[in-house]
Amino acid sequence: MAHQLYMQGMSYNREDAWQEQANCKNKAFELFEYQEKDSPLAKDMNFQERQEFNVANFELAAEICIECPVFLQCKESASADDKYWTVRAGEMPGRFNSELPPEDPGRYCQRGHWLQAGGRCQFCKREAMKKRRANAKLDS
């Protein structure tokens, strides 16, 4: 969140004055933030589409970072939270790596949920049941 504030040109004190020189200042903060499945920009995307979207954003953000005059200050001042959710000093957010599917065999369902084994997606199955129950209540 502090990343977002300095990109919008806000500064807290002289210690943070380096942020005024950041290449990401006044750039779209969405390029630097991990987009969750409920994020407005990614709400209609399946898992794979969202991951590709995040990778494309992070690559653009890294290009902005690589030439930044305050590259080292950005990295040194980043909290664990900053590093988990946002691109800092050109490094991909930790959240991105924590959501990757495991290396074991599996597949994605039609809606993009990772299935470790064969069979139906339990999440999609639950959602379908909820819809059927809601429709049954409306019909009665």
List pLDDT tens digits, range 40-78.
998 889 888 888 899 899 999 999 988 899 989 999 999
Contacts of residue 19, Cβ cutoff 8 Å, sequence gap at least 6: 6, 11, 25, 70
Instruction: Considering only residues 8 and 98, tell me which one the structure prediction assigns the higher pLDDT.
Output: 98
Q: Which residues are 88's β-sheet partners?
A: 91
- The answer to whether residues 13 and 48 belong to one domain is yes
Q: How far apart are CA 48 and CA 109, in angstroms?
A: 10
- The answer to whether residues 93 and 117 belong to one domain is no
- The answer to whether residues 61 and 122 belong to one domain is no
Q: What's the rounded mean pLDDT across residues 72-86?
A: 91
Domain that holds residue 17: 2-98
HSE-up of 41 (CA within 13 Å, CB side)? 15
- The answer to whether residues 75 and 114 belong to one domain is no
- The answer to whether residues 10 and 68 belong to one domain is yes
Q: What's the rounded mean pLDDT across residues 91-119?
A: 71
Inter-CA distances, 139 with 1, 126, 133, 135, Å: 47, 20, 10, 6
- The answer to whether residues 39 and 93 belong to one domain is yes
